[in-house]
Each structure stands twice: as structure tokens, then as C-alpha cells.
Amino acid sequence: MGYVDYEVDGHVAVMTINRPKALNALNEEVLKDIEAAFDAVDLSEIRAVIVTGAGEKSFVAGADIAAMSTMTKEEGERFGKFGNDIFRKIETFPVPVIAAVNGFALGGGNELAMSCDIRICSENALFGQPEVGLGITPGFGGTQRLARLIGPGKAKEMVYAARNIKADEAYRVGLVNAVYSQEELMPAAKKLAKAIAANAPIAVRNCKKAVNEGLQVDMDQAVVIEEKLFADCFETEDQREGMRAFLEKRKIEKFNNR
């Protein structure tokens, strides 16, 4: 994984996209390394993942324009599917994924951030889908996830006009959950990840699955999804320990992911 640094801090994995000379832009090699990093996660131990970019200027500045500039229609379709498949893998990854956006998140960078469960950012972050200014559409889910996250009207404004938004506006429209200084961003991301990791892993995974799958169907179907995932938690060691600790008015010893 030459372009992605992978570290483990307790039950939290931290992935850093490390191509700073190109502002961490995505080409096929970087995308392959991102996929390899997620494939390498030990789900028996890791309970939350943080994705960030190397340096203080950029999370991911976008897809590599030089690499795309000579693509044929067929190559463009293949590249779009390749990126979409990886971002969909992140979106449906069993454990929660937090994007710690430390600067530019444009084009593929914004699309990567949106494939994560939760986005927090630094004060210098900049978000956008500038593709129409290059003669193309967003290709890694930008037209779909942005509209779902901030509403179609605002998403269309950003996409059609190639309008970027700063951190404060991203927070106001709901694209990010919080804004921090550069120095505070990673500590805040790790604090949130560790808070997630401290809870019952099976329950957290089922919550992610319930939210993601429930949003794709009507309410009658959504509550059935929730019912089944709710029931799936029963008879686990973690459910028994969690409820026993509550009834005995003591702290939970630990959740064992069983």
C-alpha cells in the first residue's frame, strides 16, 4: 500500500492517503491502495476506521486529471466503475468509517468523504464537485450522495455551477458534523472513533446496516430491517454483559465482539 499509510490504535484503524506532492489526488494506484487497506482491516479487532490525507493542505484534491485527460469513453466508464465499487465498499463496510477532512475535498475527494459514515473537517477544508468545469460529470457517486446528504437543490447548485463551499457552509448544510482547527482535527476524530469502539461491536455494525439499508426502502420495509437486526443482537455475549451491567448498576467490563 505505497500510497496509503495504515496504523492501528487500539480498536481504531487510521488510514492516511499519502501522495502529498499531488495533493493526494486519486489515480488507479491510489484507489487500489485504498481498497487494499480496507481489505486488510481485521474485523475481529477493529471497530472504527478513520480516513484522512497526508499534509495540511489536502484530504484528496480530486481524481488525477492528467490520468483522465487521455481516456476513451470505454476507459472512462471502467475508471468510474472502479472508483464507484471501492467507494461503495467503504459505504457498506461493516464498521463505521470517519472522514477527517484536512483541506481540499474536491471531486473524488468529496466523493470519498461522502462514502464514509461521518465527516468532520478542519477550518481550511474546501468541498466541491468541480467536474463540469472539466467537461465531465462527477463519476464516483457525487451526483447521488451529495443530493442525499444535503438535499437536491443545494447539491444541484454545487454540481451545476461547480461551486465549492468552505468548512462553515459545509457544516451549515449538513455535509460535515463538526469543524475543528488543524491541530484539533485528528484528536477529535480519534476521540469519536474510540467512543464508537467502546460500544458493543455487533450492535454498532447492525446499526450501520439498519441505517444504510433502511434509507433505500419505504418505512414499512425499513422497520422490518430494523426488527431483524435488533433480534440479531440477542443471545450475544455482548448483549448479556451490557444488560447485566446495567441491572447490576456497574460499569461494563468489556465487549468481546461475540
Catalytic residue among 131, 169, 183, 248: 131
Q: For the chain, what is the largest distance between any 2 Cα atoms, rounded to a whole number of angstroms?
A: 66
Q: What angle do CA 73, 109, 133 make, to 5 degrees?
A: 55
111 is an active site residue: yes
Helices (H), 12-141: 28-39, 65-68, 73-91, 108-115
- Residues paired with residue 14 on neighbouring β-strands, in sequence order: 7, 50
Ranges of beta strands (E only) in the chain are 4-9, 12-17, 48-53, 58-60, 97-101, 104-106, 118-122, 126-128, 165-166, 178-180
131 is an active site residue: yes
Catalytic residue among 74, 111, 157, 184: 111
Q: Which residues are catalytic?
A: 111, 131
